[in-house]
Structure 1
Amino acid sequence: MFTEIRDITALNKEEVLALHIADNQQDFIESTQQCLDEAKDDRRFIPVGLYKEDIPVGFAMYGVFPHEDDTQRVWLDRYLIDERYQHKGLGKYFLQQLISFLQTKYNCQKIFLSVYDNNKVAIQLYKKFGFAFNGELDEKGEKVMVREVVAHDDN
């Protein structure tokens, strides 16, 4: 299976904007348009398309942000698989790819994300990949999860 994490450019922006989640997931994550608008306003956000065999199947946004303890935190800020491609193992597959990508790109010890506590499917997925709640809430009231990055992780 040929897969790729691609930057969003003028060439693929429209196909990324066509990605949609299921109706029952709408309250859990912003639309790709909202994400791209946010990334345009705040250059710390880096949006990417997730591709399988040259077809856009998902979207993610990441970045490095300062924390109140004067450290820098690597965030996997948004993550979705289009509803047409859910339940095919791509959520697990691309989460592992993104973890490896962020670890390599930033040589980080921890990766952070946030999730609404009623998003049970996402929480279950993140826990399978070693994310755990750290007791913090983000500015939107989402619970923060963190994954300690270890060398040679086979998760």
Structure 2
Amino acid sequence: MNTVTLVEINEDNWYTCCQLQVSAAQAAFLEPNAISILQAKFQLTLRPYAIYYGDEMAGFLMYNTELEELDGYWVYRIMIDERFQGRGIGKVAAKLMLAEIAALPDAGKIVVGYHPTNEGAHHLYKSLGFVDEGHRFGKEMAVVKYID
């Protein structure tokens, strides 16, 4: 059985991660992984990870280890390559990430922003316990998950 694991982006996997792609319909909702990886090089509180399904890279995620707006830790990216979508990999990876964030100091809540018409993101975050409290940042809505 293939397992989902998170591996920090490093000199051995960054290029493969930059080649991952979502479907054309989803591309408008996400920055390319290369932009996110570069952002993490300059914003040192960001944690970029490759998502592996067995020994194959299947996606990318990134979160901030510093409290931001709404006094929460923000999830910056979660993406699953179009070849691996529909297998529950994103949900398992998100749970692994949420557990890491919950262990950070003062982790009272986790926040993620996404475009309101991104149905895939909406269903994922709702299934993980995020709630819409009406927060809006530009074109994105921000949903919140409280840490017990």
**How far did residue 81 of structure 1 move?**
0.6
Aligned AA for 2:38? D
**How far did residue 141 of structure 1 move?**
2.6
Tell me what 1:148 maps to.
Answer: 146
Secondary structure of residue in 1 paired with 2:36: helix
Report the TM-score, using the length of structure 2 for normalisation: 0.89
Identical positions, percent: 26
Alignment of 1:110-149 (within 5 A): 110-138=109-137, 140-149=138-147
Aligned AA for 2:49? V
Gap change, CA 1:68 and 1:28, over 3 Å in 2: closer
Larger RCO: 1 or 2 (CA < 8 Å, sep 6+): 2
1:19·1:82 contact (CA, 8 Å) conserved in 2? Answer: yes
1:75-123 Cα deviation digits (max 9, x unpaired): 1111011100001111222122221222134461211100100111211
Alignment of 1:3-152 (within 5 A): 3-67=4-68, 71=71, 73-106=72-105, 108-138=107-137, 140-150=138-148
Report the TM-score, using the length of structure 1 for normalisation: 0.86
Where structure 1 has 5 or more consecutive residues not aligned to the other structure, the ranges are: 151-155
Secondary structure of residue in 2 paired with 1:58: strand
Secondary structure of residue in 1 paired with 2:116: coil
Secondary structure of residue in 2 paired with 1:5: strand
Instruction: Give me the whole-angstrom Cα distance separating, in 1, the residues matched to 2:69 and 2:122.
Output: 25
Secondary structure of residue in 1 paired with 2:60: strand
Where structure 2 has 5 or more consecutive residues not aligned to the other structure, the ranges are: none
1:16·1:49 contact (CA, 8 Å) conserved in 2? Answer: yes
2:29·2:115 contact (CA, 8 Å) conserved in 1? Answer: yes
**How far did residue 146 of structure 1 move?**
0.5
Gap change, CA 1:35 and 1:121, over 3 Å in 2: same
**How far did residue 66 of structure 1 move?**
4.3
